[in-house]
Structure 1
Amino acid sequence: MKFTDSPVIELPIGDKVLSIQQDNGSMHVGTSVWPCSLVLAKFLERWAGVSPSAANPYSSLVDFGSKHRRAIELGTGCGAAGMALHLLGLTDIILTDIAPVMPALKHNLKRNKQTLGKMLKTSILYWNNAEQMNSLKPPFDIVVAADVVYIEESAVQLIGAMEALVADDGLVLLGYQLRSPEAHKLFWEMSETVFEIEKVPHEDLHPDYAYEEADMYIFRKKKKQQ
């Protein structure tokens, strides 16, 4: 997979194709399609297409259709990962980002409305805003985030938001690429105090979307000591 600055990114999911418009000239990082969102989407698509009876280490993770799961995406940006998850069967999902990114997100949701079959739910969310988080009625079974760790201050807020939003028996799907050594160090130090962390082996990513600098992680809340 080659990362491209083309104005339009096409992302095939199953028998459908998402067409995502990005603006690399914007002042906001959320108006670009970042590699981790594509890596995350195609990783899930790869294992969603494997029969549960086959050797599928992620069968429970990608079994979106058998039981109702509520999901939320943090730092959705242009919407690639969230729209892909909807197409894979995770239909109860809220896509969130800061206010300046919302026009780009809503534009792409309208652009793909026919492919998606409906307009997906969106909400403005700042990770340090408890009132906004509470209005979304957590907890969620799945929290999704891709390429969102690049500033020290927001790394702390992100972990707080993930902990507040995910159910005790839920999970966080994180697409990750190192952007800032300072934010990286702080994020992982704090994450390990809250979550059990599983790194997805690179060979388990989609072979056409195994961007060498992007990794996939599955976070689960640590059980509280009695």
Structure 2
Amino acid sequence: MKFTDSPTIELQVRSAHLSIHQDNGSMHVGTSVWPCSLVLVKFAERWSPLTSSSSSSTPNPYAHLLDFSNKRAVELGCGCGLASMGLFLLGLNDVVLTDIAPVMPALKHNLKRNKPSLHNKTLKTAQLYWTNPAQINALKPPFDVVIATDVVYIEESVASLVAAMEALVSDNGVVLLGYQLRSPEADRLFWELCARVFAIEKIPHEDLHPEYAYEEADVFVLRKK
């Protein structure tokens, strides 16, 4: 089920306003906005060092995780680009957005549409098929942060996805994963393969943004073992 059939998705991130145009009639799932991208961005906004009050008596358990200064990042299966745009507004200034060729027009349209909200910066994009080692190497890994939201839904693509995450993230880096169960078969295989490579941390639901804590959606942090 898609998040909404509305032609546009609006999201406020700090003082900026993102407006994402989606095409629910497309044959490609990447031209629609799926909920985990919003969940991840609003979790990051809640705990970002840019938004958290330093005078608060409660320590921020995610301050280090979400300190994006001087970090290189890549998003896998970025679709319309909402997750990377949101995290860019939270300090992730060096990020490349990747997806397959048929999704690129929708991605570039939305980046152009939101350029004023992105401080007039043109975010980097690259075509990436997870099965293509040359395209992975062309991105010049490793990255400090790998972003992926709502990318596990086809069992046949799971092995290449996990391999791409492993190849792209640095030994000390993190995968920020927005996740919702889409296919039981893909889900089982994904977590089986991830457990071989990554230490898996699930963000407690109460730590998500209260207005974006959808019951079915979770945020995970993956680090290489």
TM-score bracket, normalised by the shorter chain, equals: over 0.9
Looking at structure 2, the residues matched to 136 and 63 of structure 1 have their Cα atoms a distance apart, in angstroms, of 22
Q: Following TM superposition, by how much is the alpha carbon of 1:3 offset from its aligned partner in structure 2, in angstroms?
A: 3.6
Looking at structure 1, the residues matched to 117 and 196 of structure 2 have their Cα atoms a distance apart, in angstroms, of 40
Ranges of 4+ aligned residues in structure 1 off by more than 6 Å: none
SS in structure 1 at match of 2:64: helix
Please tell me whether residue 59 in structure 1 is matched to residue 63 in structure 2.
yes
CA RMSD of aligned residues (A): 1.1
What is the aligned partner in structure 2 of residue 39 from structure 1? 39
If the length of structure 1 is used for normalisation, what is the TM-score?
0.95
Q: Following TM superposition, by how much is the alpha carbon of 1:166 offset from its aligned partner in structure 2, in angstroms?
A: 0.1
Q: Following TM superposition, by how much is the alpha carbon of 1:196 offset from its aligned partner in structure 2, in angstroms?
A: 0.2
SS in structure 2 at match of 1:59: coil
1:183 pairs, out of 166, 179, 186, with: 186
Give the number of equivalent residue pairs.
219
What is the aligned partner in structure 2 of residue 196 from structure 1? 199
Looking at structure 1, the residues matched to 186 and 4 of structure 2 have their Cα atoms a distance apart, in angstroms, of 25
User: Within 5 Å, which residues of 2 pair with 1:9-24?
Assistant: 9-24=9-24
Paired AA for residue 7 in structure 2: P
Please tell me whether residue 96 in structure 1 is matched to residue 134 in structure 2.
no
If the length of structure 2 is used for normalisation, what is the TM-score?
0.95
Q: Percent identity?
A: 70
Looking at structure 2, the residues matched to 91 and 119 of structure 1 have their Cα atoms a distance apart, in angstroms, of 11
Output one character per residue of 1:133-166: Cα deviation in whole Å (capped at 9) or x when no partner.
1011000000000000001111111000000000
Looking at structure 2, the residues matched to 188 and 110 of structure 1 have their Cα atoms a distance apart, in angstroms, of 36
1:162 pairs, out of 162, 165, 169, with: 165
Q: Following TM superposition, by how much is the alpha carbon of 1:4 offset from its aligned partner in structure 2, in angstroms?
A: 2.2
Q: Following TM superposition, by how much is the alpha carbon of 1:51 offset from its aligned partner in structure 2, in angstroms?
A: 3.3
What is the aligned partner in structure 2 of residue 4 from structure 1? 4
Q: Following TM superposition, by how much is the alpha carbon of 1:52 offset from its aligned partner in structure 2, in angstroms?
A: 5.1
What is the aligned partner in structure 2 of residue 220 from structure 1? 223
SS in structure 1 at match of 2:201: strand
Looking at structure 1, the residues matched to 162 and 19 of structure 2 have their Cα atoms a distance apart, in angstroms, of 31
SS in structure 1 at match of 2:9: strand
Looking at structure 2, the residues matched to 172 and 64 of structure 1 have their Cα atoms a distance apart, in angstroms, of 13
Please tell me whether residue 142 in structure 1 is matched to residue 133 in structure 2.
no
Output one character per residue of 1:84-130: Cα deviation in whole Å (capped at 9) or x when no partner.
01111100000000000000000000000111021100000000110
Paired AA for residue 145 in structure 2: I
Structure 2: gaps of 5 or more residues: none
Structure 1: gaps of 5 or more residues: none
Task: Say if 1:52 and 1:59, in contact at 8 Å, map to a contact too.
Answer: no
